[in-house]
Structure 1
Amino acid sequence: MNPKIRIVNEEILSDNWYVLKKITYMSERKDGSWESRSRESYDRGNGAAILLYNRERQTVILTRQFRLPTYVNGNESGLLIEACAGLLDNESAEDSIRREAEEETGYRVANVKKIGEAYMSPGSVTEKLHFFAAEYTPAMKVGEGGGVEEEQEDIEVLEYPFEQAIEMVKEGEIIDGKTIMLLQYAQLNRLLDPVPRQQHILIAGPYRSGTGDDPNLIRRNIDFMNETALRVYEAGHLPVLGEWYALPLIEKAGSRKIGDEIFNRIFHPSAVRLLKHCDAVLRIGGSSQGADEMVREALGMGKIVYRDLNEIPQVRF
């Protein structure tokens, strides 16, 4: 807890829908004196939001529903175009957003990727929002969506071309904060860029890290990366390890031991050269400065970075 903040009193002003409190607290000033302040805090729990996108069709799924607070604050229709979202309701964020996606849009998504968290209105509302993205296909549609009738939800499901959704943000047709954030994340991270039918994927994981240069532990790391490479191959892609190229070259160049001048001159630079000819990097395993550097290099080159085997799409022959 922050030692410069002391909660003095909490008074419940309303618990009709969620909980509105008046909180009195003391805060320490720069000169060391203490000052009393009062603020109102609205606690509606934490929430989650998700952007459903389809690379092949270049589309996103959004929703439209009536939002009373916007209606009384200048939104003439009260209707708001949004990404699917909802409160956690004592579930994990991932479980909650899977349920919300099916209830609101009718799609039962498979691989859900968390992309961040944010406080949306920190001056008055406690809510932290968990952000997700997931690729959808027509085969994942298991219902019509529209929300839960018992909760008086009346939600329209919308499917837009991604570029149109981005243009709607520019034109002020999409003015919901979380939705703008998700769409811009998708744009910046090129989520809807077409995936090549087959990718050349560099496996980046710990080689020496945490081994103390014990050859048995190094072999264990190599075996793990080789097993991962096999799974990437079975998914239809072309895997490669920097070690496959660097180690024979290092030996041929006359290196006497791991970490000598010849080893250091060849090991990492050869992987960077190799990366230039790869489509993506798969970061696996534990701590590794070299693997993390490869990820940074990949991002700087505009390559795809995977952090889990499940993120890698199966090749469609």
Structure 2
Amino acid sequence: MNPKIRIVNEEILSDNWYLLKKITYMSEAKDGSWTSQSRESYDRGNGATILLYNRERQTVILTRQFRIPTYVNGNETGMLIEACAGLLDKESPEDSIRREAEEETGYRIANVRKIGEAYMSPGSVTEILHFFVAEYTPAMKVGEGGGVEEEQENIEVLEYPFQRALEMIEEGEIRDAKTIMLLQYAQINRLLESRPRQLQILIAGPYRSGTGDDPNLIRRNMDFMNEIALKVYEAGHLPVLGEWYALPLIEQSGSQRIGDEIFDRIFHPSSVRLLKHCDAVLRIGGPSQGADEMVTTAMAMGKTIYRDLQEIPPCLSNLTVPSGETEL
């Protein structure tokens, strides 16, 4: 907690829909003196929002619904165009936004990717909003959407060309902050480019697993991962193996054998450090606790996970992915 802030009193002003409090607190000034201040804080829980986009059709899914706060503050119709969103309702952000996407838009999305989180109105509202993006296809449509009737939701589902949605920001037709942030993220990161950009892909597979530390079997595993790395390179992407990064560092640090103190201190942590700078993980080969942990860590970071070489889209038109086995 901040030692320069002391909460003195919390008074509940309203507990009708969500929780509105008047909070009195003391704050320490630069000269060491303390002053008392009071602010109102509205706690409605945390939420999540998502932009659904289709690269092939160059479209995005948005919604339109009546918002009374905008109606009493200059929005003549009260109707607002927004990205799908909702409160977490004791769920994880990922589970919540999948549920909201299906309820509001009718699309059942399997893979969502978190791109960040933000306090949306920190002067008065406690809410943290988790931001996601996900690709959708017509095959994912399982209902009409429109929201949940018992929650008195009346939501219109909209599908716009992506470029048109960007124009609507400039024209003032889209004025919702979270939606503007998601659309601008998609524009900056070129999410809807028809040809995928070059990715930095970390290859996660067995290094020591199942070898009994036999150097010949370890070499076999490395040869296999190097072979896959070449195919990833030929698909137009930048392959990375944690072993390429970690093993020279381990040797330079004076490690005497696999699994000694220096090896354990550097091997896995260095791969996690490398993972932060990669776009995706390709999980290949047989059982490996380390590779599985890398996938779990990557998922928590919101990285794309590929389970098969053929899932990776070619980046450069003059390069193709050679066919071949991807399992040991």
TM-score, normalised by the number of residues in structure 1: 0.71
1:309 to 295, 306, 316: 306
Give the whole-Å Cα distance in 1 for the aligned partners of 2:147 and 2:73.
24
Query: Are 1:233 and 1:239, in contact at CA under 8 Å, matched by a contact in 2?
Result: no
The corresponding residue for 1:55 is 55
One-letter amino acid of the structure 2 residue matched with residue 167 of structure 1: E
Instruction: Summarize the Cα distance change of 1:306–1:28 in structure 2 as closer, same or farther, 3 Å threshold.
Output: closer
Query: Are 1:50 and 1:84, in contact at CA under 8 Å, matched by a contact in 2?
Result: yes
Q: How does 1:259-270 map to 2 (within 5 A)?
A: none
Number of residues paired by the alignment?
Answer: 264
One-letter amino acid of the structure 2 residue matched with residue 69 of structure 1: P
One-letter amino acid of the structure 2 residue matched with residue 287 of structure 1: S
Give the whole-Å Cα distance in 1 for the aligned partners of 2:129 and 2:229.
34
Q: How does 1:1-317 map to 2 (within 5 A)?
A: 1-195=1-195, 203-204=201-202, 223=221, 226-227=224-225, 230=228, 237=235, 241=239, 286-288=269-271, 291=274, 307-309=304-306, 313=311, 315=313
Aligned-residue identity in percent: 66
Give the whole-Å Cα distance in 2 for the aligned partners of 1:221 and 1:86.
50
Aligned residue for 2:270, secondary structure, equals coil
Aligned residue for 1:308, secondary structure, equals strand
Query: Are 1:205 and 1:291, in contact at CA under 8 Å, matched by a contact in 2?
Result: no
Give the whole-Å Cα distance in 2 for the aligned partners of 1:83 and 1:153.
15
Which runs of at least 4 in structure 1 moved beyond 2 Å after TM superposition? 199-206, 219-234, 236-243, 285-296, 305-317
> How big is each residue's C-alpha offset from its partner over 1:231-287, in whole Å with a ceiling of 9 and x where there is no partner?
9969x95777568xx99xxxxxxxxx966xxxxxxxxxxxxxxxxxxxxxxxxx753
TM-score, normalised by the number of residues in structure 2: 0.69
Give the whole-Å Cα distance in 1 for the aligned partners of 2:150 and 2:219.
53
Give the whole-Å Cα distance in 1 for the aligned partners of 2:157 and 2:146.
7
Aligned residue for 1:173, secondary structure, equals coil
Aligned residue for 2:57, secondary structure, equals coil
The corresponding residue for 1:276 is none
The corresponding residue for 1:264 is none
One-letter amino acid of the structure 2 residue matched with residue 134 of structure 1: A
Give the whole-Å Cα distance in 1 for the aligned partners of 2:2 and 2:12.
23
1:308 Cα deviation from its structure 2 partner: 3.1
Instruction: Summarize the Cα distance change of 1:310–1:115 in structure 2 as closer, same or farther, 3 Å threshold.
Output: farther
Instruction: Summarize the Cα distance change of 1:226–1:65 in structure 2 as closer, same or farther, 3 Å threshold.
Output: farther
1:225 Cα deviation from its structure 2 partner: 9.4
Unpaired segments ≥5 residues, structure 2: 205-212, 253-267, 280-301, 315-319, 321-328
One-letter amino acid of the structure 1 residue matched with residue 270 of structure 2: S
1:194 Cα deviation from its structure 2 partner: 1.3
1:309 Cα deviation from its structure 2 partner: 2.4
Give the whole-Å Cα distance in 2 for the aligned partners of 1:115 and 1:293.
13
